Chains A and B, each alone.
Chain A
């Protein structure tokens, strides 16, 4: 394995982990409500930009990060309560338009309240690169991988071992049956938006030291997170993780070996290919429309 290849692989896995976090958010909301939240990318932006601006007020960085995640969670809950819930019985197209509206609304607001410049966070633990078999890893890359893995394990435990997690899965499978056994499904919906917002914000904070954050950063990261969710199979947690890594690595390879100008095209070509040939994704269940 050439060191060049290894280098591309490492950078692919690093960004891929972020896409996976965003993709998980899509899947969680989709499971709970069958809504695709087009505003998911804005949570990523809120994480990064929120931390930058809360920290600029003199707050210590870790507190600022927690503050930004909290901010994203509150906005996620607000989105669910104020917009999605009111249009609960509307058509898919209607809900898509609402979440897109929410997305550009939040983006515009961030551009006004904060600013329209690029910002970076300091790396969590230094910039000294680590050499591995001719390739380099920056410490922030290890942070990204570590936190993403920790989040994945925590989610696994949450969904399989806790009552609330199981209630969320139950609601995803069959909302009516979940109600009948006494699950408060409307709280579950709120929880899933909160969780998705937190995941997006964490992704946004993790990547901010490596790629500068900006009020419009959510567009691309959101779309790539969506590719991750689709490639892995919408609604599948492990699918979103694998999908994220796959999108990240493919993108890094294309940028390295083909052309970095067309790097951003890769995710979409991948989405289109998967949608055309494998509409259920890698891990998704085949479904048929109910009439």
Chain B
């Protein structure tokens, strides 16, 4: 029993690591690398967001706000104040963690619709501030970000970025799986089932919800920081409402409460607009349709539904 859970927990990580290790052989040019790297960055956000949506049952429509705060912290501290990128990254994570912690207690007291709206409002406030503080962020025109460097070494090739993002993704997935399989994870599932029942059973539900909100915020901020240095240019649209919706759609499509589903959802929805012009031109319509159709016809999402189908099939 114990062995099988360990195997199923880390088996997936090994498969993911193997795919990430082999993939560069098939990435023909820098366009494919770009898609892979952006997929990985989105996947890191989605794994974190899924901890909140899928496991704690709390929706956030403002995660792009955390993503953008991470990105802009790195950009502003590195380029405006001359901080080393690593220090800026850590500072950004601390800032987002603090912010998430401060707003989590009042926000997470709210349920369902209220929480969705409160996080949406938070995201929009962040996006308005980024647009308005032109001196700091360059406003709607955006700002350039210098390359990521540490101890005289600089990340400048596609392959370097690929390994940085790939390694980060594997670590994030591993952390998420461990978190889910801990006392925290079980408490969260209890919260998802029935918050009142969890409270009655002696679980400090607010504490766990705050913890997971902060953790998922940090993951988004970390991904944002990587994104800033990788693309080298930031605009406030990274904090926009549609960006938050993209992340939620990826989680929903891949499967709520499925860590690997989030990775798959992120890869599919990052890659599709790059390869299908139809998808790119009709982005809003497509994302809207995917959200509605997935929720109506396949509410568990892609990966869990696939797993069910395989398990049910007569051998």
Residues of chain A touching chain B, judged by Cβ–Cβ distance below 8 Å, are: 36, 38, 83, 86-87, 90-94, 96-98, 100-109, 111-112, 219, 223, 226, 230, 234, 261-262, 264-265, 267-269, 271-272, 275-276, 279, 289, 291
Contacts and interface: CB of A to CB of B under 8 A. Distances in A.
Contact of A109 (B59, B241, B285, B290): B285
Interface stretch (B124-132, B157-165, B229-237): B124-132
A82 to B, nearest CB: 9
A95 to B, nearest CB: 8
Interface string B218-253: 000000000000000000000001100100110010
A265 B224 CA distance: 23
Interface of B: 53, 57, 59, 61, 106-107, 109-114, 116-118, 120-122, 124-125, 128-129, 132, 194-197, 241-242, 245, 248-249, 252, 256, 282-292, 295-296, 299
13 contacts: A36-B116, A93-B112, A97-B252, A98-B295, A104-B288, A105-B285, A108-B284, A108-B287, A108-B288, A223-B117, A276-B106, A289-B111, A291-B197
Nearest to B285: A108
Nearest to B133: A261
A265 to B, nearest CB: 5
A98 B284 contact: no
Contacts of B121: 223, 267-268, 271-272
A87 B296 contact: yes
Contacts of A96: 59, 112-113, 116
Main SS class of interface, B: helix
Contacts of A101: 249, 287-292, 295
B282 A108 contact: yes
B237 to A, nearest CB: 13
B118 A272 contact: yes
Given A90-B295, A268-B125, A289-B196, 20 more contacts: A83-B292, A87-B295, A90-B299, A92-B112, A97-B59, A101-B290, A102-B288, A103-B288, A105-B289, A112-B285, A223-B117, A265-B129, A268-B121, A268-B122, A271-B118, A272-B118, A275-B117, A276-B106, A276-B109, A279-B114
A105 B196 contact: no
Contacts of B291: 97-98, 100-101, 104-105
A225 to B, nearest CB: 11
A265 B126 CA distance: 9
Nearest to B241: A219
B110 A279 contact: yes
A38 B110 CA distance: 17
B196 A291 contact: yes
A271 B287 contact: no
A98 B117 contact: no
Given A96-B112, A271-B117, A275-B114, A102 B124 contact: no
B124 A83 contact: no
A108 B281 CA distance: 10
B213 to A, nearest CB: 15
Contacts of A262: 128, 132
A91 B57 contact: yes
Contacts of A90: 295, 299
Nearest to A109: B285
Contacts of A223: 117, 120-121, 124
| Residue of B196, B283, B295 most packed against chain A (CB within 10 A) | B295
